Amino acid sequence: MKDNILIISFLTILFGFFVASVLLEDRDISLSERRKLASFPEIKTGSQWNEDYFQELDQYLIDQFPLRDEFRKMKAYTQAYLFNKKDNDGVFQQNGYIFELDQTLKESNLIYFSEKLTELKEKYLDDTNAIYYSIIPDKIYYLQDSIYPKLDYDKLITTLKEKLPQEFNYIDLFSQLELDFYYKTDIHWRQEKIGAIAKYLVESMHHNYYDSPKTSVFYRDFHGSLYSKLGLDISTEELIYLTNPTLEKITMWNYEQQSFEKLYQTEKSNDVDPYDVFLSGATPLLSIENPMSQTDRNLIIFRDSFTSSLTPLLVESYNKVTLIDLRYIATDLLEDKVDFKNSDILFLYSVPVINNSRILK
């Protein structure tokens, strides 16, 4: 009798999940995982009918499984509180912040990074004003008294100084940042905290920093990318952007979309990553001209996503700011798109990108 009850209960649960999977509408994105979910694969015939279809179908069934978010949370809570596992999917929580583990310094990638910057100098940067580079530390650098391992940051800095040509001038950001400059649930820094960083960078490039008063605008409650990896319930935090009448008038030319866009894309509130409010997120090439500029100096930044929130704090100090993201555009394609002459050049990359620099094209 007892065995029969177990069998019936098991079959009932299976049938219930099957009915739910049929009746429930498929979701396009997972806000908790901050990614697009797989849709039902197109049925293929002939030579296209192969194992690829079944792999796509398998991914679809996993992504659209009923109560997927609840099962992810159950797994995370079980690992954290039942098995006392210190991290989940390479992230951990301490002092109210979520941190990402990346304790292995990849020296070959540091060499690749320095070679990529040297290649760009030799190919494009002979007629520029000056070349600068700076490193944005990941926030675990500022975590004190932690049992978790950290990268050898001193070796990272020393290696780049040794490998890069002498024309590259280093601007130290490690001493300028603090832990509370970063989001608690995301890897990025908070725009409302980095006004002094923008000023420090501009003045380190021997230029006057122009900064008219700005208003803090609360954008939305925010759960960052690390929250989705951790899987535990943590309070949302504020995502804030800084603006003023000048920044509201300035537009940027998006080469990929072939259109002018505002610096702040507030319509992206329901996208997978709300951080895309800053400069429309991941974009290969942007050009921002300031018609109200008090200077004729131009700045070209080779950058990653950290620079998206920093750039609006820089544009008032330049006549034109060009942003190049080599994760999405190949070096050789820049020749016909960017005029490098008589510009200040800044390579501004975060530690995770430098340590995984083979993503640069």
102-134: pLDDT as tens digits: 778 999 999 999 999 999 999 988 877 799 999
Contact status, residue 340 vs residue 275, Cβ threshold 8 Å: no
> What residue type is 181 in one-letter code?
F
Lowest mean pLDDT among 14-28, 182-196, 285-299: 14-28
Q: Strand 298-303 relative to strand 343-350: parallel, antiparallel, unpaired?
A: parallel
Q: What is the mean pLDDT of residues 313-340?
A: 91
Q: Does the structure show a pLDDT above 80 at 43?
A: no
73-77 LR contacts (CB < 8 Å, sep 24+): 73/231, 73/232, 73/233, 75/231, 76/230, 76/231, 76/232, 77/231, 77/232
Backbone angles phi, psi at 249, to 5 degrees: -85, -25
Rg (CA), the chain: 24
Cβ-contact 282, 327 below 8 angstroms: yes
Domain ranges of the chain: 2-66, 97-359
Tell me the pLDDT tens digit for each residue of 19-41.
Answer: 444 444 555 555 555 556 555 55
H-helix or E-strand spanning residue 300: strand 298-303
* Residue 265 · residue 276 · CB < 8 Å: yes
> Does pLDDT of 9 surpass 80?
no
Q: What is the pLDDT of residue 34?
A: 54
Q: Which of 204, 106, 100, 214 is nearest to 152 (CA)?
A: 106
Residue 30's pLDDT is: 54
User: What is the separation of C-alpha 16 from the centre of its chain, rounded to a whole number of angstroms?
Assistant: 39
CA angle (17, 21, 23) in 5-degree steps:
115
**Helix count and strand count (H, E) for the chain:** 10, 14
Q: Name the nearest CA neighbour of 298 among 288, 283, 308.
A: 288
Mean pLDDT over each residue of the chain, to the nearest integer: 80
Query: Which one, of 136, 205, 175, lies nearest residue 354 by Cα?
Result: 136
Q: What is the pLDDT of residues 162-188, one digit of tens each?
A: 999 999 999 999 999 999 999 998 999
- Between helices 153-163 and 107-124, what is the axis angle to 10°? 30
Q: How does pLDDT run across 218-253, given as a tens digit for each residue? A: 776 777 787 776 665 677 788 888 999 988 889 899
Kindly give, in sequence order, each residue whose CB lies less than 8 Å from that of residue 334, ignoring residues fewer than 6 positions away: 124, 285, 324
| Higher-confidence position of 78 and 167 | 167
Predicted TM-score (pTM) of the model is: 0.78
- Max CA-CA distance within the chain? 86
**Residue 120 CB partners (closer than 8 Å, separation 6+):** 302, 331
- pLDDT at residue number 54: 54
Parallel, antiparallel, or unpaired: how do β-strands 130-136 and 343-350 relate? parallel
Compare 219 and 274 and report the one with higher pLDDT: 274
Q: Is 77 or 105 the better-scoring residue by pLDDT?
A: 105
pLDDT at 69 over 90: no
- How far is Cα 35 from Cα 271, in angstroms, rounded to an integer? 9
Q: How confident is the model at residue 94 (pLDDT cuts 50, 70, 90)?
A: confident
Q: Which residues pair with 303 in a beta bridge?
A: 348
Give the per-residue pLDDT at 145: 78
Q: Which two tokens stand for residue 354?
A: 């430098």
